[in-house]
Amino acid sequence: MFKRLADAGVAVAITVDGKHVGARSGDTVAAALIAAGIDHCRTTPVTGAPRAPYCLMGVCFECLVTIDGVGSRQGCLAPVRDGMTVETQSGKREAGR
């Protein structure tokens, strides 16, 4: 869906659902998912419909993901860090996730 203009920035290694994803410094988690072609980042707690980042500016809460074990974080506000583990979310979370 998206391609990088140039490989600016330093390579940052994160995992998404256990798989390695090559991100760049300056990426947010949501941007890294989009750049990696990951189609959706969660399913909704109401009907289980797939959702992907929508606004990229912190207002729509579609890009909610679990980051380093903490659930429902806004991926578009979290800069990637080396070694970060990201999990896509499905439906209702376990309490505390």
Q: Which residues bind other proteins (CB under 8 A)?
A: 1-6, 8-9, 24, 26-28, 31, 34-35, 39-40, 44-47, 49-62, 64, 69-72, 76-77, 79, 91-97
Return the structure tokens found at 53. 């980042």
Residue 18 or 47: the one with the smaller Cβ distance to other proteins is 47
Residue 18 or 96: the one with the smaller Cβ distance to other proteins is 96
DSSP 3-state of 68: coil
Return the structure tokens found at 71. 């659930």
Task: Report, in Å, the least distance between residue 16 CB and other proteins.
Answer: 15
Task: Report, in Å, the least distance between residue 62 CB and other proteins.
Answer: 7
Torsion of CA 85, 70, 33, 56, to 10 degrees: -150
The candidate with the shortest Cα–Cα distance to 87, out of 23, 26, 22, 14, is 14
Residue 6 or 20: the one with the smaller Cβ distance to other proteins is 6
Question: Cα separation of 28 and 12, whole Å?
Answer: 11
Task: Report, in Å, the least distance between residue 74 CB and other proteins.
Answer: 8
